[in-house]
Amino acid sequence: MDSPGNGLGTARGIQGLPVTMRLFNSPVPGHLRAGFRAIEQSKLERIAAALRDHYFADCPEGYLATDWGRDDLDNHILGRLETAREMIVPWLDAARPLQGSAILEIGCGTGCSTVALAEQGAKVTALDADEGSLVVAAERCSACGLDVSFVRANAAQADTLFSDHRFDFIIFYASLEHMTLEERISAMRASWNMLSSGGFWVVIEAPNRLWFYDSHTSLLPFHMWLPDDLAFAYSRFSPRYNYRELYRTPTDESKLHFLRRGRGVSYHEFELAMKPLGELRVRSCLTMAAKEKGTLRRVKRMFSKEHRYLSLLRKIVPEVHEGFLQDFLYLILEKD
């Protein structure tokens, strides 16, 4: 489950895959699989220790002894790395070979996605605002023998910090939703302006606030639709451990903590931060590609409430690219 982010650019916690993504079962191309780095058991134990000491240190006492906590730890040891290798890396590599690509990863968290990118020969600069996450990410990359440049900073500072750099990819991996609205708009605008023509701006695993069910944070229907103050008050009805107990008293600190747990992202920020949607070039949407390739339960999906809801969204905003209407946003945008 999500633990609270400590600042802009932080990607934290278990993120359950949307149903549509579980259908994406294409084998990883051989040239990518050949890049996977094996991690010795002793090094995995060091990564687990770093996670306990630096990443989960601010969780309630006893959390890691719960089923939620054990799953969370396992996911951060290897689960998210396997997902990135099997699903995300082939998708990105199809847009442009990762070998030799310069990548700015904004919100690297504990480094699972960082390893998946760097082991393919990409030159990765990984940014996060949370010091504890960066300690774990550095330990993980060291265990894999990978040379990655880590920077502790807010995403909105990227254009200043890297003004003389050129990146082929700028990737927000499970991080946009952990920012406040002001931070998110600033970070999106700054990073978009950094890209040269032909560069790729990528968002991965961002929950879409347009969807009727919040499977990312609260596990409640309509929760992402509610005004922040009402959502804060209603969070006590969440079935999620280490979430429903936290937001009983509204203070400036608890409200900020709540916002950074994840309130969703939608196409509206893209228009505000970049340019009108009709002028944005969507190079690829992973969720749509998964649906096209998936063959399981195709007829059943046609009659599911998710499929019917997506059909409704298409009718309401037919001018909006379907990639912006999926339950989670997995998009590659190409700069003109």
Give kind and range of the element (H or E) at residue 125: strand 123-128
Structure tokens belonging to residue 330: 């997995």
Q: What is the pLDDT of residue 302?
A: 58
Q: Are 187 and 9 in contact (CB under 8 A)?
A: yes
Q: Which amino acid is at 248?
A: R
Residue 124's SS3 state is strand
DSSP 4: P
Are 195 and 167 within 8 A, CB to CB?
yes
**Confidence band, pLDDT 50/70/90 cuts, at residue 4:** very low
**Range 121-127 contact pairs with CB under 8 angstroms and sequence separation of 24 or more:** 121/35, 122/98, 122/169, 124/148, 124/149, 125/149, 125/151, 125/162, 125/165, 125/167, 126/150, 126/151, 127/9, 127/151, 127/152, 127/153, 127/155, 127/158, 127/161
pTM, to two decimals: 0.89
126-135, 159-168, 201-210: the lowest-pLDDT one: 159-168
Residue 27: pLDDT band with limits 50, 70, 90: confident
Q: What is the average per-residue pLDDT within 159-169?
A: 91
Tell me what pLDDT residue 301 has: 60
Helix (H) or strand (E) holding 260: helix 252-261
Nearest-Å Rg of the Cα atoms of the chain is 19
Average model confidence (pLDDT) across the chain: 89
- Amino acid residing at 233: A
pLDDT more than 90, % of the chain: 79
CB count in 10 Å sphere of residue 126 = 29
Q: What confidence score (pLDDT) does residue 14 get?
A: 35
Say what the pLDDT of residue 25 is: 57
The two tokens of residue 2 are 């999500």
pLDDT value for 13 = 36
Instruction: Report the alpha-carbon distance of residue 213 to residue 136 in Å, rounded.
Output: 32
Strand pairing class (281-285; 328-334): antiparallel
The most distant pair of C-alpha atoms in the chain lies apart, rounded to whole Å, by 54
**What letter does residue 21 receive in the DSSP assignment?**
G
Q: What is the pLDDT of residue 22?
A: 45
> What pLDDT does residue 296 have?
42
Three-class SS state of 249: coil
Q: What is the pLDDT of residue 5?
A: 36
Tokens of 280: 């944005």
pLDDT digits (tens, 9 = 90+) for 116-159: 999 999 999 999 999 999 999 999 999 999 999 999 998 888 88
Least confident of 84-93, 111-120, 228-237, 301-310: 301-310
pLDDT the model gives residue 303 = 65
State mean pLDDT over 227-231. 97
